[in-house]
A and B are shown apart, each in its own frame.
Chain A
Amino acid sequence: MILLRRLFFFAVGLFLALPLIVVAGVSINEKQTLAFPPQGFSLAWYGEIFLNDDWRNALFASLTLAALSAALALLVALPLAWFLWRRIAPWANIFQLLGIAPFTLPPVITALGLLTFWATSGFYGQPWTAVISHAIFFVTLPLVTLSLGFSAIDRSLVEAAATMGADDQTIFRTVVLPLILPYMVSGYAFAFVLSLNEYIVAYMTVGFTMETLPIKIFNALRYGYTPTMASVTVLFLVIAALVFGLIARFGDLPKLLGAMGEDR
Chain B
Amino acid sequence: MRREPPQRFPDYGPLMFPAAMLVVFFVIPFATMIAVSFFERQQGGFYEPAFVFDNYGRFLSLFFGKVLAFSLFLAMAVAAACVTIGVPFTYLLSRSSRGTQIRWLVVLLSILSLSEVMIGFAWSTLLSRTAGITNLFAMLGLMDAQALTPSFGAVMTAMTYQALPYTVLVLYPALVRLDPTLTEAARTLGASPVRAFFTVIVPALRNTILATLIMVFIFALGSYLLPQLLGRPQHWTLSVLITDQAIYQSNMPFAAAMAVFLVLVSLSLVGLAVYAGRQKEAA
Interface pair B14/A83, CB less than 8 Å apart: yes
The answer to whether A65 has its CB under 8 Å from any CB of chain B is no
Among B2, B111, B173, chain A packs the most CB atoms within 10 A around the CB of B173
Interface pair B111/A113, CB less than 8 Å apart: no
The answer to whether A47 has its CB under 8 Å from any CB of chain B is no
Q: Which of B29, B116, B133 contacts A199 (CB 8 A)?
A: B116
Total interface residues on A, using CB and 8 Å? 100
Q: Which residues of B contact A120 (CB under 8 A)?
A: 32
Q: Which of A1-46 contact B (CB under 8 A)?
A: 1, 4-5, 8-9, 12-13, 15-16, 18-20, 22-23, 25-26, 33-36
Total interface residues on B, using CB and 8 Å? 92
Interface pair A35/B131, CB less than 8 Å apart: yes
The 8 A CB mask of B175-214 against A (1 = contact, 0 = none) is: 0110000000000000001100000000000000000000
Kindly state the separation between the CA atoms of A35 and B98 in the bound complex, as whole angstroms: 39
The 8 A CB mask of A145-163 against B (1 = contact, 0 = none) is: 0000000000100110110
What's the nearest-Cβ distance from chain B to residue A141, in Å? 11
Q: Which of B111-164 contact A (CB under 8 A)?
A: 111, 113-123, 125-126, 128, 130-133, 135, 161, 164
Q: Which residues of A contact B262 (CB under 8 A)?
A: 106, 108-109
What's the nearest-Cβ distance from chain B to residue A181, in Å? 18
Interface pair B125/A36, CB less than 8 Å apart: yes
Kindly state the separation between the CA atoms of A200 and B1 in the bound complex, as whole angstroms: 43
Q: Name the residue on A nearest B130 (C-beta).
A: A34
Q: Which of B29, B117, B194, B242 contacts A117 (CB 8 A)?
A: B29
Kindly state the separation between the CA atoms of A92 and B263 in the bound complex, as whole angstroms: 23
Tally A-B pairs: CB < 8 A.
274
Q: Which residues of A contact B171 (CB under 8 A)?
A: 261
Among B119, B121, B263, chain A packs the most CB atoms within 10 A around the CB of B121
Interface pair A112/B126, CB less than 8 Å apart: no
Given A34-B128, A136-B26, A236-B114, are A75 and B17 also a contact pair (CB < 8 Å)?
yes
Q: Which residues of B contact A101 (CB under 8 A)?
A: 26
Q: Which residues of A contact B32 (CB under 8 A)?
A: 113, 116-117, 120
Q: Which of A19, A108, A162, A254 contacts B105 (CB 8 A)?
A: A254
Interface pair A104/B113, CB less than 8 Å apart: no
Given A117-B32, A244-B109, A245-B106, are A264 and B170 also a contact pair (CB < 8 Å)?
yes
Interface pair A112/B256, CB less than 8 Å apart: yes
Q: Which of B6, B14, B132, B243 contacts A80 (CB 8 A)?
A: B14
Which 9 pairs from chain A and chain B are nearest by CB? A106-B222, A117-B29, A261-B173, A36-B131, A19-B122, A197-B115, A80-B18, A79-B14, A113-B29
Can you add 6 more A-B contacts, CB < 8 Å, to A79-B15, A117-B32?
A23-B125, A76-B17, A95-B19, A116-B252, A135-B21, A240-B109
